[in-house]
Chain A
Amino acid sequence: MRRTVIVAGLAALMGTTAAAQDIGVSMARFDDNFLTVLRVGMEEQAASLGVNLQVEDAQNDVAKQLDQINNFIASGVDAIIVNAVDTSATQAMSDAAAAAGVPLVYVNREPINVDSLPDTQAFVASNEKDSGTLQTQEVCRLFKEAGKAEANVYVIMGELSNQAAVMRTQDIKDVIGTPDCSFIKIIDEQTSNWQRDQAQNLMTNWLSTGTPFDGVIANNDESAIGAIQALKAAGVDMASVVVAGIDATQDALAAMQAGDLDVTVFQDAAGQGAGSLDAAIRLSKGESVDQKVYIPFQLVTPANIGDFLAKN
């Protein structure tokens, strides 16, 4: 008797949640420029669809993130969206969600188990293969345009535990490995942990070695801006170096308008946020979703900057 009451109660509860869906979101961190645009894009999409969104901040802590996911599962959400802190620690999250039968969508950062995701899980992002490739190809084109027979560059990497940083750096090496761009040589590569301040100090340290160079390729815009600030402080003529970033943040676009940043790549943060929410809703309704949903990257240069000013 009591059991039927509980079952009925549960059924009623599930009935109400099905009407207005509850989706749990665990973001790697709240205080990241790009991830904030993504999160806001997700929240706006949720508001327009009437979906209840509960967003948690994992504060760059892998263990905290897994706890948040387990809490979401325990509170009976319809689907979970994860922006992974550490892309190599996602198997446990996939397993926990799959065991509980809750759909899971990874957004922006590619999980290590992306090729073995169960049917109720998906990955929404831009293809990192494109970002560094578009970026470095444009740098290569600019060097050729300037008539350089050989060019030396510094590479500023993002956080080394992050798949995007690894991928984007590999993209750079792949492009300069092609015969077309093999005249480019990397002098040194170091990490700035995506941070402007660290990139600024790193660039000044490089400048102090006095090695002549032609460009700086950074894994993200914040690092590129840090390099620009160091270069300007040292009195380097910005027309003589090529500086490239990725993300097309407002700060970066302003730097490009000022003639300091030469190349950046637009990653549609809001589009990824909205896309991940759509995928989560469809999975929670039992519909099938492609395992990898790609939102395309776009190259941004002074020529087409006008199209992107209002976007990120």
Chain B
Amino acid sequence: MAQSAQGLGGLTYDASKKARPPELNVFLALVLIVAAFEAIGRLLIGDSFLFNTRDNVDTLFNQQRLQIIILQVAIVGIIAIGVTQVIITGGIDLSSGSVVGATAMVAMSFAQTALVNGQPNPKAIFGPGFMDLPVIVPVVVGLACGLVAGLVNGALIAYTRIPPFIATLGMMVFARGFSRWWSNGNPISFPTESYAAIGRGMMPVVIFVALAVLFHCVMTYTRYGKHCYAIGSNEAAARMSGIDVTHHKVLVYTLAAMLAALAAIVLSSKNLTAQAGMGVMYELDAIAMAVIGGVSLSGGRGSILGTVLGALIFGVIISGFTFLKLDAYYQEMVKGVIIVAAVVLDQWRQRSRLQG
């Protein structure tokens, strides 16, 4: 009996060997980190991280803190949704941060208002004909920037067969140069009221969550999602089984860049300004969120849900450190440790599962 089961190898289904879903581990890590901040907060500064300790507000939790935890990672989170899909197909996208910078500059140029406090807009990029345009114009122009960047990325990777690392590195450098060139490094400010509404208040979170739910379903239930996992697991096998790998890759990189462009629109709207330096390092934060969330850099494994949890871990750390009044230096050091630790733990889990 035992002999025959071994002969079947990985195809044998053994319920006792079914590992916990990796998302559950990420969720437990999140809970652990929150609990750690709660405990340290109560012990050291006598305040609660999660719960409301103010007399003038009547809520159980500290709502404002819960909001900022998600709000401060929502925009990079939107990028991470696209990056997750890229990584699941076994690729990588280094260009998203620069695409954010370039898109923010271009979109904001079409979103400017003619009058600021009754005077002409001091940051005007185009003439009055391009001022006070309906909000759809900057949004479409912005998404078009993402479309172009993504098509170029995807086409380079799928047709010239250069490694994704190199293709998107090229786009990363190019798009950053483009965003500096666009207005000679000048920031672009003062958008129309309707453009400003896109990223106001908790809107970035609403957009992030809606996209996360949408793409979680897409990755789980549609053929597109199944092809992503298939290509990431074994590209040759996927091709042999009839998946159009070339077209699929172009599609994946295009979606990722368009999500980065959307993040740029939300970011520039939230900040009411576009600056050439916007989005620097966002690509690495997005990749880190995915990795912490259990997305495997070798492809084929991971989920949008995991990435969302990874993003929340980021948010909790940033807020936790401000709550403890610790400097930003420590934040980055801890972030670095967590990224590496997440991958090491994942590797161990993989190995122990394979060795049974």
Contacts and interface: CB of A to CB of B under 8 A. Distances in A.
B53 A210 contact: yes
A201 B72 contact: yes
A168 interface: no
Interface in B260-299: 267, 270-273, 275-278
Most chain A CB within 10 A, of B57, B68, B184, B201, is at B68
Task: Tell me whether chain A's interface is mostly helix, strand or loop, or mixed.
Answer: helix
A172 to B, nearest CB: 17
Interface residues of B, number: 43
Contacts of B37: none
Given A32-B277, A210-B53, A200 B271 contact: yes
Nearest to B184: A36
| Contact-residue size bin, chain A (C-beta under 8 Å from the other chain) | 35 or more
B71 A250 contact: no
B54 A201 contact: no
Given A196-B273, A200-B271, A30 B185 contact: yes
B220 interface: no
Interface in B173-193: 179-180, 184-187, 189-190
Contact of B185 (A36, A188, A209): A36
B162 interface: no
A209 B187 contact: no
Interface string B194-230: 0000001100000000000000000000000000000
Contacts of B134: none
Interface string A242-255: 00000000110010
Nearest to A201: B72
A196 B180 CA distance: 18
Contacts of A71: none
The residue among A201, A206, A309 with the most chain B CB atoms within 10 A of its own CB is A201
A190 B117 CA distance: 31
A208 B64 contact: yes
Nearest to B268: A197
B277 to A, nearest CB: 4
Interface of B: 47, 53-54, 56-57, 62, 64-65, 67-68, 71-72, 116-117, 119, 122-123, 179-180, 184-187, 189-190, 200-201, 267, 270-273, 275-278, 318-319, 322-323, 325, 327-328
Q: Which 10 A-B pairs have the closest CB atoms?
A: A31-B276, A208-B65, A208-B64, A205-B322, A30-B185, A31-B277, A210-B54, A250-B122, A204-B68, A201-B72
Given A32-B185, A197-B267, A254-B189, 6 more contacts: A31-B180, A190-B328, A197-B270, A202-B322, A233-B200, A254-B117
